[in-house]
């Protein structure tokens, strides 16, 4: 049998292309910002993870330019060998100080961070217990490990305790949860998770990809939000969102950092972050430290958009973060809605199965601290218009 047989069968994406409602790979002709030029047209961007609006900040751009001038375009090797720059070391110290952890290690992408951390920490006789709505990179990190994965129903602490109680007493346990869930925008129940972890002798890892720069008084993420910074064993996060760059990190006690540095295959066998990525992320971190009001600005933007949608009678999933999901339920309606919105100058993200359960497709809208209320009002009007069209279908 030809292994390519599957390639030639009709797929959802081929059907969507034929119908003219394919929603992916739209081209930007400008910087990532609150308003972009997408395929030659002015478009309000409410489908980006540029939470603090720093991708176009002059200090971030200048930091990247200077890094290119002084260090070149790449490192040509892994951190383990020739790919460690003083830039990496200094940035890791700066980030560790900000997160109030003993140490930080950086990875080339956020996805790789979860692969590298979980596969190194979870051994053959260990268990890793995950919220069912955790990010795909967490699940792939679990699969790469030699441990056994258990899943608990989303935010269901009774189910989590059942899973914890089922683990043999001689096995190690790592509980892994998103801090802010990327699709629903809700915040993990960290106080209850920490309490259960202590009861059952488990360690806790939090993926703060969508929480760093988003929640917490200083933008340090979900642990700061709950006042649990001394109770979370491992933070993971990315630089491709609030910190306007590319890469990821692990923050933990020094002994944990050293162990992962010397055992994580995705870390050891990958090239290190480029100089420009490091310096852009570090510049964005400095702006966050100097301007923590951006976190409050982001909250106001999210709250304003929620009020906009309520006033217009648009149903959405309630959250307290800048991620606001609008359920369309059917994949086809999701694709149609994205096209209709883009035609009207608004970009949103289509989320369909398997990223969500079948029948729970949605428009993922996400917001930036530098959105103006006028932009949000305009986008809300377009969303109202399109959702009314969907009701007739």
The helix/strand count (H/E) of the chain reads as: 15, 13
Tokens 């106001």 belong to residue: 300
Q: How many residues does the chain have?
A: 393
Residues 222 and 321: their CA atoms lie apart, in Å, by: 11
Tokens 């649990």 belong to residue: 228
User: How big is the CA angle at 278 (ends 274 and 281), to the nearest 5 degrees?
Assistant: 135
Nearest Cα to 216, choosing from 373, 105, 56, 52? 52
DSSP 301-332: HHHHHHHHHHHTT------SSSEEEEEEESHH
Give the SS3 label for residue 13: helix
Those residues whose C-beta lies under 8 Å from the C-beta of residue 172, and which sit 6 or more positions away, are 122, 123, 125, 126, 127, 203
Backbone torsions φ then ψ of 133, nearest 5 degrees:
-100, 15
339, two tokens: 């096209």
DSSP state of 271: B
The overall longest dimension of the chain from CA atoms, in Å, is 61
Those residues whose C-beta lies under 8 Å from the C-beta of residue 9, and which sit 6 or more positions away, are none
Calculate the CA 261 to chain-centre distance. Answer: 23
**Active site (catalytic) residues:** 182, 210, 241
End-to-end CA distance of the chain: 42
CB 87 within 8 A of CB 71: yes
DSSP 90-142: HHHHHHHHHHT-SEEEEESSHHHHHHHHHHHHS-TT-EEEEETT--HHHHHHH
């Amino acid at each position: 049998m030809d292994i390519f047989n599957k390639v030639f069968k009709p797929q959802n994406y081929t059907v969507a292309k034929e119908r003219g409602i394919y929603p992916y790979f739209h081209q930007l002709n400008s910087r990532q910002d609150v308003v972009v030029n997408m395929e030659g047209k002015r478009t309000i961007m409410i489908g980006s993870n540029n939470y603090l609006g720093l991708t176009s900040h002059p200090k971030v751009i200048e930091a990247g330019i200077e890094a290119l001038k002084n260090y070149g375009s790449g490192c040509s090797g892994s951190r383990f060998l020739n790919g460690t720059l003083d830039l990496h070391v200094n940035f890791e110290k700066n980030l560790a100080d900000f997160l109030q952890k003993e140490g930080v290690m950086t990875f080339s992408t956020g996805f790789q961070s979860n692969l590298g951390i979980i596969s190194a920490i979870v051994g053959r006789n260990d268990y890793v217990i995950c919220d069912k709505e955790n990010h795909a990179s967490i699940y792939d990190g679990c699969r790469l490990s030699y441990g056994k994965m258990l899943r608990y129903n989303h935010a269901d602490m009774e189910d989590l305790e059942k899973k914890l109680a089922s683990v043999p007493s001689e096995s190690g346990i790592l509980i892994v949860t998103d801090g802010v869930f990327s699709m629903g925008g809700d915040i993990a129940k960290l106080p209850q998770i920490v309490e259960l972890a202590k009861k059952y002798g488990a360690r806790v890892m939090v993926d703060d990809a969508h929480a760093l720069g988003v929640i917490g008084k200083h933008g340090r993420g979900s642990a700061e939000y709950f006042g649990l910074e001394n109770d979370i064993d491992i933070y993971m996060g990315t630089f491709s969102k609030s910190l306007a760059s590319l890469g990821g990190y692990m923050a933990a006690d020094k002994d944990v950092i050293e162990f992962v540095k010397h055992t994580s295959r995705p870390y050891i066998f990958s090239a290190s972050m480029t100089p420009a990525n490091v310096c852009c992320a570090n510049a964005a971190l400095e702006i966050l430290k100097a301007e923590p009001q951006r976190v409050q600005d982001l909250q106001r933007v999210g709250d304003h958009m929620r009020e906009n949608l309520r006033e217009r009678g648009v149903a959405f999933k309630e959250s307290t973060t800048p991620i606001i999901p609008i359920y369309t339920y059917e994949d086809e309606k999701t694709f149609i809605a994205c096209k209709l919105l883009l035609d009207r100058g608004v970009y949103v993200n289509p989320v369909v199965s398997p990223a969500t359960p079948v029948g729970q497709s949605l428009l993922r809208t996400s917001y930036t601290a530098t959105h103006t209320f006028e932009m949000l009002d305009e986008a809300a009007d377009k969303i109202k218009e399109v959702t009314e069209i969907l009701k007739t279908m």
